[in-house]
Amino acid sequence: MLIVAVAAWLFLELAVEMLEGETRKFDERVLLAFRSAGDTSDPLGATWVEELARDVTGLGSVAVLAFLTLMSAGFLWLQRKWQLAIYLVCAVATGVIGSTLLKWGFDRPRPDLVAHGHAVYTSSFPSGHSMMSAVVFLTLGVLLATTQTKPVMQIYILSIAVLGTVAVGISRVYLGVHWPTDVLAGWLAGTGWALLCWIIADLLRDRGQIE
């Protein structure tokens, strides 16, 4: 709960700084660091690096995350863990709703400093890809890790979940479709939401309401 509270506080602080324009210099400096000197339309690295970034950013897309969620829920359902399957879908669905409402509320324009390397349709703050990849990857990672008895396996599973979340966020900045603070806000909101859902699941499990 302390981590959830800290994540919420940091998100609000970041949002206020963003609205006041205090993050502009940081955002521009980091965004330009991913671009070739003298050509803001050219991301660093060879062409295959840019293609790799698009592949990685796709891991945080609605289609991929929905597939992972439904696939995992179906697995739990077949194991007769119906309550947990429903809970997983609800946790992710409410995260999507929260992300959408935050985007509508802040309505921050997308970066105009560099060319976009990926199609975008919504506002910028917080990053939906970053937030939802944190929600899905971390929630699934925790659920899977709790089935393991060896600490090394738990650490391995959670590390993969964190690595996937971080990679998706960095790819959004690399492709120029998000300001760095959009991604930071997405990570904070997504991590806080995933941890809150984990806490609620533990409480429900202790009460015997889910298995």
pTM for the whole thing?
0.88
**Euclidean distance between the first and the last CA atom of the chain, given in angstroms as a whole number:** 22
Confidence of residue 156 (pLDDT cuts 50, 70, 90): very high
- pLDDT single digits (tens) 9-41: 999 999 999 998 888 999 989 988 888 877 777
Confidence (pLDDT) at 133 = 93
Q: Is the pLDDT of residue 186 over 90?
A: yes
Contact (Cβ atoms closer than 8 angstroms) between residue 7 and residue 192: yes
Percent of the chain residues past pLDDT 90, beyond the cut: 35
* Whether pLDDT at 171 is above 80: yes
Domains of the chain: which residue ranges?
A: 2-206
pLDDT of residue 209: 65
